[in-house]
Structure 1
Amino acid sequence: MLSRTAENLYWMARYMERAESTARLLTMGQRMAILPGAHHRDEWRSVVRATGCEENFPPDAHVRETDVVAYLMLDPENPSSIRSCLARARANGKSARTMLTQDMWEALNEGWRKLDSYDVAEARQQLPGLIDWVKTRAMTFRGAADSGQLRNEGHDFLRVGAALERAQMTLRLLDVKYYVLLPETEVIGGNRDHYQWTSVLHALSGSRAYHHVYGGAYTPWQITDFIMLNRLFPRSVAYCYDQLAYRLNRLAGWHDNRGQSQDSIKAMVEGLESVDSGEIFRRGLHETVQNGIAHTDRLANEIAQDYHFG
């Protein structure tokens, strides 16, 4: 496969996953912002901080929902906004059109300019519906790939991009919780803390899965273990790492060559396998999340080098 085609498939999947993950961040921001005292905690700043976009907001200004919707959902100049991600995913798909099924292309193409017609006021008014629309588009695309695409190296590049982006955004969702909790550690275990932690599960569509594993007990360390270490939950970091290892090993077989990315993901998987229950909280959530983000960033660079992305 041409490196250019592989790169288009990889980034198409990343952009679709990023659009959905940003929508999930907005959902969590909304849920946390309705708590008493949210204005003083600047909950929306934690959302833009988790996306890596905080430098675009004045450090001494209160970040409002209006600002976040404008920048993370609608701004065509922000390459990580939902609007930009959908447009870029379609552009990548158009460049790799022969590798897509008709259903995959229709999932990319249908309504891709929907957000062009919204101003900020309309988007805020219809935000829950728009978030659901974005999530549906991403899930339709994934379903189309699962049901019809050949399981060749093109499919593996698609899955590598999706798993890498999902791992990063799951880590960033945990970072939102860290930054919200940081100024008021004395309320750990209180009602507000409980609501914030369950909001993380809700944003990841993991509430019911968590309940199957832990029952009705909601504790910060169990939720952290579930999101980081559970190998059966498809949005956990461990599951994403397992998928990356599987797909990168398949690509090594297709190309009869192992690169640095295969060695790195092997070490990342082994690193999570060695973590005991509750250890992440004891070590420090923020440090663990930041290390995870750094490792996935490094892995992305290694994948680009190994497969000669431009």
Structure 2
Amino acid sequence: RSERNNLTVSVWEYLNEASIQLREKLDKPLTGANIQDFLDWTKRQMILVAGACETTLLRDEAYHFLSLGTYIERADNTARILDSKYHILLPQGEKVGGGVDYYQWTEILNCINALRTYRRVYSSAVLPWRVAELMILRSDLPRSLHFCLTQIMDNLDALARIYGTRHECHRLCGVLASGLRYGKVDDIFERGLHEFLVEFIDKNNALGAEITRNYLINP
């Protein structure tokens, strides 16, 4: 409530409505019968709030910090979803490239609502290296690592203009973003997809921590 004056009416109403409905939903135990409905409801509420933020909030420093948090978390989630393919989804004894493997890569795309996008871009069967390319290197997919880092850089640049100075976080972001901009999926798989993703997650977390130090702890 203390931040209500910094929010537009639309953002506040969506947040308030979601908060009220959430309390009502959590009064009932979440079980297998209704948990999917709860998750679908959660996604719809997030889309409403995000849409209101994008279309109504003033582009001031508060908006840029909000956007930084959004894209740092989104990049982390995308990397972890993709990495989970190698650690959780493929049952023991199933071969890579088999029927189960194909189904699981399809589910990975569904997790980020990108299955139709994949088919539109590649017009082919679901292949692991193309899924990785889409989720890591494509600059035009909102859930890709490349897209997220571009948005982080844009928002950091906006803060640099507002405050009149740049920090170590700007350099770290530039290094991480350039690797995604000029990276090739063949090099990622040659090195190891899991190893690449673990390193990215660590660097993304370090970037978030550096932003906190530069702007919130030692401004």
TM-score (norm 2): 0.92
The answer as to 2:19 corresponding to 1:109 is no
Contact 1:228 1:236 in 2 (8 A): yes
Per-residue CA distance 1:110-155 (angstroms, 9 max, x = gap): 132244212133xx21122111110011100011111111112221
**1:182 offset after TM fit, Å?**
6.8
Q: 1:251 aligns with which of 139, 159, 165?
A: 159
Counterpart of 1:297 in structure 2 is 205
3-state SS of 1:218 partner: coil
Q: 1:260 aligns with which of 151, 158, 168?
A: 168
Cα distance change of structure 1 residues 285 and 142 upon mapping to structure 2, 3 Å threshold? same
**1:98 offset after TM fit, Å?**
1.6
**1:218 offset after TM fit, Å?**
1.1
**1:229 offset after TM fit, Å?**
0.6
- After the TM superposition, which residues 1-310 of structure 1 pair with which residues of structure 2 at under 5 Å, given as runs? 94-112=1-19, 113-121=23-31, 124-180=32-88, 184=92, 187-309=95-217
Cα distance change of structure 1 residues 167 and 114 upon mapping to structure 2, 3 Å threshold? farther
Cα distance change of structure 1 residues 103 and 270 upon mapping to structure 2, 3 Å threshold? same
3-state SS of 1:118 partner: coil
Distance (Å, rounded) in 2 between the aligned partners of 1:290 and 1:185:
25
Supply the RMSD in Å over aligned alpha carbons. 1.7
**1:227 offset after TM fit, Å?**
0.4
Identity across the alignment (%): 34
Distance (Å, rounded) in 2 between the aligned partners of 1:212 and 1:277:
19
Structure 1, unmatched stretches of 5+, are 1-93
3-state SS of 1:188 partner: coil
Cα distance change of structure 1 residues 194 and 183 upon mapping to structure 2, 3 Å threshold? closer
TM-score (norm 1): 0.66
Q: Which amino acid aligns with 1:233?
A: L
Contact 2:79 2:145 in 1 (8 A): yes
Distance (Å, rounded) in 2 between the aligned partners of 1:186 and 1:275:
30
**1:95 offset after TM fit, Å?**
3.1
Contact 2:135 2:145 in 1 (8 A): yes
List structure 1 segments (4+ residues) > 6 angstroms apart after TM superposition.
none
Contact 1:178 1:286 in 2 (8 A): yes
Distance (Å, rounded) in 1 between the aligned partners of 2:181 and 2:93:
29
3-state SS of 1:308 partner: helix
Distance (Å, rounded) in 2 between the aligned partners of 1:279 and 1:125:
44
Distance (Å, rounded) in 2 between the aligned partners of 1:256 and 1:140:
33
Q: Which amino acid aligns with 1:120?
A: L
Structure 2, unmatched stretches of 5+, are none
